[in-house]
Chains A and B, each alone.
Chain A
Amino acid sequence: MNIDDKLALNLFHVDKDPHIQVDQEICRKCPHRLCTYVCPVENYTINEDNTVVFAWEGCLECGTCRIICDQGAITWDYPRGGYGISYRF
């Protein structure tokens, strides 16, 4: 089962702005890009032009990217109250 199918099962209230800011300039020079491995919803992907793209719509607010980014590229915050993931179970 792929991640998109899994995320389609979840209830999200997606805000219009991302709650996590990613500094493209820093990511461009990142030697490891480990965020693309450890994010449990594969929200971090590498674009054709070699930039790291963060898609906040499916973010589960787990906090992993915040801890593993040692380049200082991620400004992590919670979504607005009531927005983001709402677990039903």
Chain B
Amino acid sequence: MENTEKFDVIVVGAGPAGTTAAYVLAKAGAEVLLIERGAYPGAKNVFGGIIYTPILNRLIPNFWEEAPIERHIKGLKIFLLSEKNAVSIGVESEEHNQPPYNNSFTVYRSKFDSWYAQKAQDVGAMLITDTVVDDLLWEGNKVVGVKARGEEGDVYADVIIVADGVNSLLAEKAGLRKEFKPRQVSLGMKEVMELPREVIEERFNLSGNEGIELKYMAGDATKGIWGGGNIYTNLETLSVVTWLSVEPLLASQQKAPELLERFKEHPFVRNYIKDGKTIEYQAHLAPDGGYDFTPKYYTGGLLVAGDAARFLNASIHYEGTNFAMASGEAAAKAVIEAKKKGDFTEKGLSHYQKLLNGSFVMKDLKRYRKLNRFAEKNPEFFDGYFDAITQMAVDYFTVNELPKRHQEFNMLKRFRSNLRDYYASDNPVTRRQKGLVRAFSRTCPLVRFLWKCMKGGIAFV
């Protein structure tokens, strides 16, 4: 590529954020260069297992008819685990068996991201793979191009869209954010496990292309570390995932890969994945929702989208791909707007912030930040409370000779004593408690539990 070559837009990273931006811009007639460091789009990309597609279905209606999807997700099952007990709630709908399938599909990223990048190429974007972007080229306080490693060298454009993922060295080099702290990221580990199609469908009660997600919320699934486990159904494989918030993981001093193995062997997990033959092992960081640590999302000649901007709903929903696509589309629209005015300065690109603010991206980040802060400050929820709550549920359904009212009374008594034992034992939570608070939790564990539930409820609403 010659040094004189200049594009309208360079997009770094061919994931859902970058490719969406490239697709929208190319379709609007811009000259777009999409740069991917992997040998093909998706080669470096890790996610849990589901792409959420409200944006994609608007851009490419009925995309599932041609995209390489595995299964549509008709429902989910949520588990709370302790070592010996489990409580689960399932949500399924026949409506989700109809288009647009609740906009939830399992895919392999290697296939899906390659397909999506091809769609961007079909409308005129240019894709180059095997290319790492090392740095930005500046003119005064405006970014005017990128420095690619190797033969590509310097490439120029009016605007750069940075969508290079959670480890975005470019967003840092642009001065838009600092290196993440352990409390701002989670580590996800995943095994793709092969099983015959019929076995998967029988085991998970599925037919045809139906799929389901099992969600294990923290508790014993992660040994009390804020995080969780998942099983996603693909056509002929399962994606088995454990994700762990990095700060509590560090505090626990446990080996991360051993926690995935432990999850796989858990009594309420192992039968779902029995006889599964692992065919790939993946791991990656994910950002934990960005509202509290908001970086600036744009500067002169540059915008950041997707994981690079921490756009991910780290909650029970754990949606990342639709945040990526929504921010990619917003970035593209802001560039189109800037192009009309011929102003690619910071001010000229400020429309991006307005589009983000108006969409679910910023609204959800804002809402769920409270919940994340609550989870951070109240680790007992995912530790001692899980044990006590699941035991209470098991006690409620225990069959014996006692009249039910008597049994319910025993259940509550045991619930209270379980909470008290938890607060009396030596664990990371009680070690954090001091003097009066500790004495209070031991003497009135039920009051503390109800108080925490109320605060949790408020944080959620």
Residues of A within 8 A of B (CB): 1, 3, 6-7, 9-10, 13, 34, 37-42, 60-64, 66-68, 76-82, 84-89
Contact = CB atoms under 8 A, between A and B. Distances in A.
Contact of A3 (B45, B179, B181, B257): B257
B284 interface: yes
B278 A1 contact: yes
Interface string B423-461: 000000000000000000000000000000000000000
B250 interface: yes
4 pairs of A and B residues whose beta carbons are closest in the complex: A82-B130, A40-B283, A6-B281, A63-B167
User: Which residue among A10, A78, A88 has the maximum number of chain B CB atoms within 10 Å of its CB?
Assistant: A78
Contacts of A6: 191, 278, 281
SS of A interface (majority): loop
Interface stretch (B34-42, B84-92, B209-217): B34-42
Nearest to A77: B169
B180 interface: yes
Give the bracket for the number of chain B residues in contact with chain A.
35 or more
Contacts of A66: 167, 179
A51 to B, nearest CB: 20
User: Which residue among B109, B150, B283, B285 has the maximum number of chain A CB atoms within 10 Å of its CB?
Assistant: B283
Contacts of A67: 179-182, 185, 246, 285
B279 A87 contact: no
Nearest to B260: A40
B257 A62 contact: no
A67 B45 CA distance: 19
Nearest to B264: A1
Contacts of A78: 37, 132, 167, 169
B278 A68 contact: no
Contacts of A39: 256
Nearest to B113: A87
A9 B354 CA distance: 45
A83 B347 CA distance: 38
Contacts of A89: 108-110, 192, 237, 279-280, 282
Contacts of A64: 185, 187, 246, 256, 283, 285
Interface of B: 37-40, 42-46, 108-110, 129-132, 149-150, 166-167, 169, 179-182, 185, 187, 189, 191-192, 237, 246, 249-250, 253-257, 260-261, 278-285
Contact of B280 (A37, A38, A87): A87
Contacts of A38: 187, 246, 249-250, 255-256
Contacts of B281: 6-7, 9-10, 41, 60
Contacts of B185: 63-64, 67
A79 to B, nearest CB: 8
Given A61-B44, A67-B180, A89-B108, 7 more contacts: A9-B280, A37-B256, A38-B255, A62-B46, A67-B246, A86-B39, A88-B108
Contacts of A63: 166-167, 185, 284-285
A27 B257 CA distance: 22
Contacts of B44: 61, 84-87
Nearest to A86: B43
Contact of A81 (B129, B191, B280): B129
Nearest to A63: B167
Contacts of B279: 9, 89
Nearest to A64: B187
A81 B131 contact: yes
A81 B253 CA distance: 34
A87 B42 contact: yes
Contacts of B39: 13, 82, 86
Contacts of A9: 278-281
Contact of A68 (B40, B149, B246): B246
Given A67-B182, A68-B246, A87-B45, A62 B285 contact: yes
Contacts of B187: 38, 40, 62, 64
A86 B237 CA distance: 19
Contacts of B237: 89
B282 to A, nearest CB: 6
Contacts of B109: 87, 89
A3 B258 CA distance: 9
User: Which residue among B44, B46, B181, B253 has the maximum number of chain A CB atoms within 10 Å of its CB?
Assistant: B44
A55 to B, nearest CB: 14
Contacts of B167: 61, 63, 66, 76, 78
A79 B42 CA distance: 16
B182 A37 contact: no
Given A41-B257, A42-B257, A66-B167, A87 B130 contact: no
